[in-house]
């Protein structure tokens, strides 16, 4: 038996022992792994120290696209990413313009949408909510109302508006209803960018939530959670709770399979905290390439 035939036989034997569900997950993962993105907030400190050197490291690690933060004040990030061959489809942006517009015409938000269109972006994402916008179910309803209006205006320009969750949206108010429940009920034009780490921290199963929101999730964020962290947790986490993919308790493959089935457009690696962010993002994509 020659070596090539032997290797094929071993691979075939291994695959034959793998459950069909896992094989589907493996196949599904290829769609995202081949075009994997990185939320550049992960590298905020290295980018300040060496913008182009950090972006080159991202491209050399194998990332194909990046998601910006701070748009529209992100010209250097946008240009630098494109200069090293990284696609830029999405950005987190100055969210007050959509969450709490200064006028009924959403004039500030429309300026951002126009700049996004000029930059070639197809997605804008609300990355956070300040306390006053999430202190009651009524506050969440008002946010949802505004985001739906803003999303309609963005769509006219060819831009998808989404909301990025943390864990606080899953904290129940009196009666058990959550802010996230409000968004699920109220969003009709706005979509979700699900951060699957925070979904887990909020006490839900990420793959199940993706399935529940099929057709309403534009993008996902991938990161891993340190073993031993109690969930649900609606407060702060220790810095070492944020782990590279494959180094925690969240299985990545079922998430990729669920994302494909739900019609998710883009997947981005993110790691909020790391003692060595560049090394962490390299480790995460290295893990993805083994799937």
pTM for the model stands at 0.91
Please return the burial class of 287, using the count of CB atoms within 10 Å of its CB with bins 0-12, 13-18 and 19+: middle
Given this model, what pLDDT does residue 155 score? 98
HSE toward the beta carbon, residue 272, CA cutoff 13 A: 17
Residue 224 near residue 248 (C-beta atoms within 8 A): yes
Query: Six-digit token pair at 173?
Result: 């108010």
Task: Please give the domain boundaries of the chain with CATH numbers for all domains.
Answer: 25-288 (3.20.20.150)
Angle at 256 between CA 204 and CA 15, to 5 degrees: 120
Backbone angles phi, psi at 162, to 5 degrees: -130, 165
Given this model, what pLDDT does residue 28 score? 56
HSE toward the beta carbon, residue 115, CA cutoff 13 A: 17
Distance CA(74)–CA(51), nearest Å, equals: 12
Can you give the chain as a three-state secondary structure string? CCHHHHHHHHHHHHHHCCCHHHHHHHHHHHHHHCCCEEEHHHHHHHHHHCHHHHHHHHHHHCCCEEEEEEECCCHHHHHHHHHCCCEEEEEEECCHHHHCCCCCCCHHHHHHHHHHHHHCCCEEEECCCCHHHCCCHHHHHHHHHHHHHHHHHHHHCCCEEEEECCCHHHCECCCCCEHHHHHHHHCCCCEEEEEHHHHHHCCCCHHHHHHHCCCCEEEEEECEECCCCCCCCCCCCCHHHEECCCCCCCCHHHHHHHHHHHCCCEEEECCCCCCCHHHHHHHHHHHHCCC
Digit-coded pLDDT (tens) for 142-185: 999 999 999 999 999 999 999 999 999 999 999 999 999 999 99
Given this model, what pLDDT does residue 180 score? 98
Distance CA(270)–CA(197), nearest Å, equals: 9
Can you give 176-245 as a three-state secondary structure string? CCEHHHHHHHHCCCCEEEEEHHHHHHCCCCHHHHHHHCCCCEEEEEECEECCCCCCCCCCCCCHHHEECC
Given this model, what pLDDT does residue 30 score? 79
Given this model, what pLDDT does residue 12 score? 41
Digit-coded pLDDT (tens) for 116-131: 999 999 999 999 999 9
Given this model, what pLDDT does residue 234 score? 97
Distance CA(19)–CA(254), nearest Å, equals: 13
Distance CA(76)–CA(138), nearest Å, equals: 38
Angle at 163 between CA 162 and CA 169, to 5 degrees: 160
Query: Six-digit token pair at 91?
Result: 């950005």
Q: What is the residue-level pLDDT of the chain in tens, covering all 291 positions?
A: 433 223 334 334 433 454 554 445 456 567 899 999 999 999 999 999 999 999 999 999 999 999 999 999 999 999 999 999 999 999 999 999 999 999 999 999 999 999 999 999 999 999 999 999 999 999 999 999 999 999 999 999 999 999 999 999 999 999 999 999 999 999 999 999 999 999 999 999 999 999 999 999 999 999 999 999 999 999 999 999 999 999 999 999 999 999 999 999 999 999 999 999 999 999 999 999 999
Q: How far is CA 88 from the centre of its chain?
A: 14
């Amino acid at each position: 038996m020659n070596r090539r035939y032997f290797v094929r036989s071993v691979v075939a034997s291994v695959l034959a022992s793998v459950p069909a569900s896992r094989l589907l997950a493996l196949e599904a993962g290829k769609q995202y792994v081949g075009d994997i993105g990185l939320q550049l907030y992960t590298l905020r400190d290295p980018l300040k120290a060496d913008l182009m050197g950090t972006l080159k490291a991202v491209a050399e690690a194998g990332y194909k696209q990046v998601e910006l933060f701070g748009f529209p004040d992100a010209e250097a990030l946008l240009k630098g990413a494109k200069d090293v061959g990284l696609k830029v489809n999405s950005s987190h942006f100055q969210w007050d313009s959509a969450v709490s517009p200064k006028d009924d015409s959403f004039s500030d938000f429309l300026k951002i949408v126009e700049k996004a269109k000029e930059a070639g972006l197809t997605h804008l994402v609300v990355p956070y909510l300040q306390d006053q916008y999430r202190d009651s179910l009524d506050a969440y309803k008002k946010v949802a109302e505004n985001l739906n209006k803003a999303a309609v205006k963005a769509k006219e320009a060819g831009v998808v508006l989404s909301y990025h969750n943390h864990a606080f949206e899953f904290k129940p108010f009196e009666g058990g209803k959550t802010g996230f429940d409000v968004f699920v009920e109220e969003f009709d034009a706005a979509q979700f960018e699900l951060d699957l780490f925070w979904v887990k921290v909020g006490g839900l199963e990420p793959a199940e939530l993706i399935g529940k929101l099929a057709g309403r999730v534009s993008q996902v964020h991938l990161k891993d959670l340190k073993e031993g962290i109690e969930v649900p947790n609606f407060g702060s986490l220790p810095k070492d709770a944020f782990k590279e993919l494959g180094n925690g308790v969240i299985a990545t493959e079922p998430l990729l399979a669920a994302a494909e089935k739900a019609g998710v457009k883009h997947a981005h690696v993110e790691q909020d905290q790391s003692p060595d962010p560049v090394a962490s993002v390299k480790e995460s994509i290295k893990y993805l390439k083994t799937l």
